[in-house]
Amino acid sequence: MDGTVETVGASKLPAPELEQEALEHVWIHSAEWVRLAEERGFRVFERAFGSTLVDVNGREYIDGLSGLWVVNAGHGRQEIAQAMADQAARIAYVSAANHTTVPTVQLANVLASLTPGDLNRIFFCSGGSEAVESAIKIAKQVQAMRGFPKRYKIIARRGSYHGMTYGAMSLTQSRSEKFFGPFMYGVLHVPSPNRYRNDFGLEGEEGDIMCANYVEQEIQYQDPETVAAVIGEPISTSNGVHVPSPKYWQRLREICDKYGVLLIMDEVINGFGRTGKMFAAEHFGVVPDLMTMAKGLTSGYAPMGAVAVSEKVFEIFREQKDVPLGHLLTFGGHAVAAAAALKNLEIFQRENLVQQSAEKGEYLLKQLRELLHHPTVGDVRGLGLMCGLEMVKNKATKEKWPRNSAFIKTLERRMNEKGLLTRVWEIVHVAPPLVVTHQEIDRIVEIIDEALTEAENEFASEIGV
C-alpha cells in the first residue's frame, strides 16, 4: 500500500495529510483528544476484514475488542453492504412516528423469535444509549398507566455502564459529576456481583445472592411504591466481566415480581452471541420485562438499537388505546439499518456464529488463564468471546493499578505496537469478532504475554519482583 487513500470527490490524500486533517477537524469521542493529538496516539483506519483492521499507513492490527464489542460478524462483509445499498435505493426513510417499512417489520419479527420468553414487542432506536433511555421511559410510563404515578426510581448497580445520554449516564456509576451533575433524580446504586472483590467479603454464589438480596433491601428502604425498575447488564463489562451465578438473576426476578418492579436487562454489549448464547439472559434462565440491545444487532454496519418489551408490559397500551408512548426518535427503525441487521442475523444463522463464540470462547479463556503466572495478572474470567484480565500491583492484597497509571499506559502501548488493539484499563478486555480464528486467538494471547513481560520488567521496582 502506498500510504494514500481515496476521498469522496477528491484526489488521493497522503496518509500524513489525512491524519493532519483528523487532528484539525475530528473530535474523537471520550478520548483525551488534545493530549492524544499531540502524542499522535490515534489511528485513521482505511479498511478491515474479518478480525483485522488496516490503517492508512498499511499497518494491520487484530481487533481485540470488536470495535467496542460491536463487530460480532466480523469486518468487510460485502453482503451486508450490498443489502444496505439495495434498501437505500428502494426506500431509506419514513417517519417512525406513524409508519414503518418492510425490513423493519421483518426485523421485528425475527427479533421476537430470537428473544427469550414473551419479549415480542420491539421499539427501535439508533443505539445503546437510546435503547436505555427508551427503556427507562417505557418503564416509568407503564408504572404510571398501571396506577402507580409515584414509581419513578430506578435501581442500577455500582460499576455499571448504560450509556452516555443524560438518563443513561445517570444510571452509569462512572458518570462525571464534575461536568454533568446533578443527574436524573431517583437513581440508586447497589452492589454488583464480583467474585474477586465481593462487597460483603463472601465467595462464589453466596456473594452473588447477597448482592441480589441487597436490591430487595434497597426497594424496601426506598418504599416499593416509589420504585419503577431495576436495571443491570447480565454480565457487566464495565464492572470487570464478572459472571454471576444463575441464582443471582433468578433471585432478582423473584424480588421484582414480589414488589411490582420491572426488570430491565441491558444486553447492548452482551447480546447477539457475545457470551456464547444469542442473549446472555439465556445463561441464567430469566426473562426480563424489558431488554435493551444494539451493537451486535447490525455488527456495526449501521447504527441501530432496540428495546424488546414483554407482552404483559405492553398489555397496558392495549387496554388504554388512547394513550400513546410519550417517546419518539427520528431514526428509530431506519430501513437501511434494518436491512443491515437482517443480513447480519442471516449470517449468524448460516455460519452458526453463536456456537462459534461459545467454542472459541472456551479456547480463549483457557489460553488467557496461562497468563496467571504473571505477577500483575490477578484474575482471568469471562464467558464466550467476552473475557478480561484483572491487573493488580500485588496479588496478595489485590491492589489495583490506577486506570491512567504509567504501567497501564505502557502495557497498552506495547500491545498496540505489536499489532493488537483492545481496551487496557485496570481490566484488559479481550473480545474479538466471533469470526476470530484459533490462530488469531493464539496471537492475541502471545501479544498480551509479551507486552506484560516487557511492562513488568520496566516497572519491576513497583511490582516488587
| Each residue's pLDDT tens digit, 147-195 | 999 999 999 999 999 999 999 999 997 777 778 878 899 999 999 999 9
Residues 180-236: pLDDT tens digits? 878 899 999 999 999 999 999 998 999 999 999 999 999 999 999 999 999 999 999
pLDDT at 217: 98
Query: Quick one: angle between helices 335-351 and 102-114, nearest 10?
Result: 40
If you average pLDDT over residues 232-255, what whole number do you get? Answer: 97
pLDDT at 179: 81
Per-residue exposure over 309-346, b if at least 16 CB sit within 10 Å of its own CB, e if not: bbeebbebbeeeeeeeeeeebebbbbbbbbbbbbbbbe
pLDDT at 244 > cutoff 90: yes
Residues 441-460: pLDDT tens digits? 999 999 999 999 999 999 99
Residues 115-137: pLDDT tens digits? 999 999 999 999 999 999 999 99
pLDDT at 181: 77
Confidence band (pLDDT; 50, 70, 90) for 10? very low
Do residues 134 and 294 touch, judged by C-beta distance below 8 A? Answer: no
Q: What's the burial of 434, exposed, middle or buried (CB within 10 Å: 0-12/13-18/19+)?
A: buried
CA dist., res. 259 & res. 236, Å (int): 24
Residues 276-293: pLDDT tens digits? 999 999 999 999 999 999
If you average pLDDT over residues 47-70, what whole number do you get? Answer: 97
pLDDT at 9: 44
Cell of 197: 472483590
pLDDT at 338: 98
Residues 102-120: pLDDT tens digits? 999 999 999 999 999 999 9
pLDDT at 32: 66
pLDDT at 394: 93
Q: Is 29 helix (H, G, I), strand (E, B) or coil?
A: coil
pLDDT at 207: 96
pLDDT at 259: 98
pLDDT at 2 > cutoff 60: no
Residues 289-308: pLDDT tens digits? 999 999 999 999 999 999 99
If you average pLDDT over residues 362-386, what whole number do you get? Answer: 98
Confidence band (pLDDT; 50, 70, 90) for 20? confident
pLDDT at 86: 98
Share of the chain above pLDDT 70, in %: 94
Residues 382-433: pLDDT tens digits? 999 999 999 999 999 999 999 889 999 999 999 999 999 999 999 999 999 9
pLDDT at 1: 47
pLDDT at 362: 98
pLDDT at 40 > cutoff 60: no
Number of helical (H) and strand (E) elements in the chain, helices listed first: 17, 17
If you average pLDDT over residues 301-318, what whole number do you get? Answer: 98
Confidence band (pLDDT; 50, 70, 90) for 38? low
Q: Which is more confident, 276 or 464? A: 276
pLDDT at 39: 61
CA dist., res. 294 & res. 97, Å (int): 20
Domains in the chain with CATH codes? 43-76+353-463 (3.90.1150.10), 79-351 (3.40.640.10)
CA dist., res. 61 & res. 275, Å (int): 23
Stated pTM of the model: 0.94
